[in-house]
Structure 1
């Protein structure tokens, strides 16, 4: 274990020993850091502060407001190096509720070459998060609070949040377990449940999980399997993927079907881009399927249908997400609960950056209510 990993572990032990007592004497500073840590809309401030505090403890001569080597002064440093080199491993090891990627690649904290002082206007939401984050860096620089105490306070709050999250999830899962003797949900009830979940905020990842859950439930019946998913933030051009979901035959690694998920209408340009990817693909596809949550324009559908002749036998189809799900559940009616359980598992294991904690809890609450009604 490196010295800085040991520093983080010592801070963790301090936080665990005083879990429900703040390490900060100043109520104003304590309120600021609690706001930053509990801001579910934007978690970048938490990781940035952790990286800067660790750097300050490692090198007391640095200015915690200067986490960019581009600043070029002796008291500047690479906050990203501390973040990716130590904070990432630490939060993953202890399952702390933070972003899975470095704060220094978020739009607000990227490509900066000046100190993060309180007079700096950072464009981002919520505005208060950035104001409080910059003020906390200023407080450490002015010795109003030590880097050690602030880092330990952050870890203490994250431990509390982790425990609260796990307690809520366990309570919701226990609630589902109590309804095991109820009549199984029908296909139409499952469709309604999934549609309610899709209508929640920040649900763009869910259509991908619906398709994957369908293949997990019934793929073995038609000899196909889904390849591991790419990160939800990665573009197909970056990963080299043909689509959001890639399907192979069970005993063959060649991709036969690609799915592209859309939370908006499919356009002619979308179809043209799909044709371009098909032309460059190493594997000869059988199907390229768009699944959208919006209405389908007839002229776009007709344009996609014409691709069969143009590509020499590769079909491009545009399906409505709810329509796909309804057809699948009625076609494979006997595995509908396998589908629902697979979808639930996929939702729960997704990183919070892809499926937020409130969205995970919403599904469990919706399912519990649906099963209680039966």
Structure 2
């Protein structure tokens, strides 16, 4: 079988393909997955470039996200059968409850990831993929989709008629729009161009604010909500946008901090921090139970992930370059 390996900080030139003579066999509690597709996340690029702030094992197999078919099962495995279509959980040891030091290892960093022809995983680290999705679509789910799901569902329930603000057109925000609409929410999105605004509306956004044309977009959000502010914000910008998010939230609203894509590192004054009553919650992808719940919701609502471009397994370097250098709307996929 063939697998890609890289050391953190070696850059894309250090991403090497290694061929072994034998397909791995499962242990008693393990499954073997013939990988069919992977998707790339920003954290995968950070690992390769040495910018990841968590441990990375030497010669790691990269990528947290992938889908495939089970081709081997151990003698103790009860949750799966040969031929099941599956995805792996981003945190393979975190099945439920709160995360801690014993469950925080991540695929593609402390633990070998999914950019390989065959992956061996504990059956506890794997869940069934939604039947209506292709392998390419299913491969998008473990990281950004689950982060968006938990940003939408964390804390008090999101109810039909509530308002949700998403930021930009990154994959977390695209999934958040789809999930929020599935809950019956009113979605307002921000973006940088009228072209992207139209695509966000096609995906389900009810209203879109172009933040280049409207720099004070927090005022626009207030106007669109009759001065009340939104019930929930999917915060992906970090401190570069958090101040305006606080000024856009309704009383007792919730801000789910998922990322920090903004290049600005802005100090937020006490007056802004105390200007509303809100909960700020840091989202860290999610556990297996949450992944299972999300997949059920995706299946019931027949949600389809947005895919920008598909590369072959042999074109993995090109896929990473495209992800890093080209604007994309949706996920970048590596197909086996």
TM-score, normalised by the number of residues in structure 2: 0.30
Structure holding more strand per residue: 2
Rg comparison, structure with higher value? 1
Structure holding more helix per residue: 1
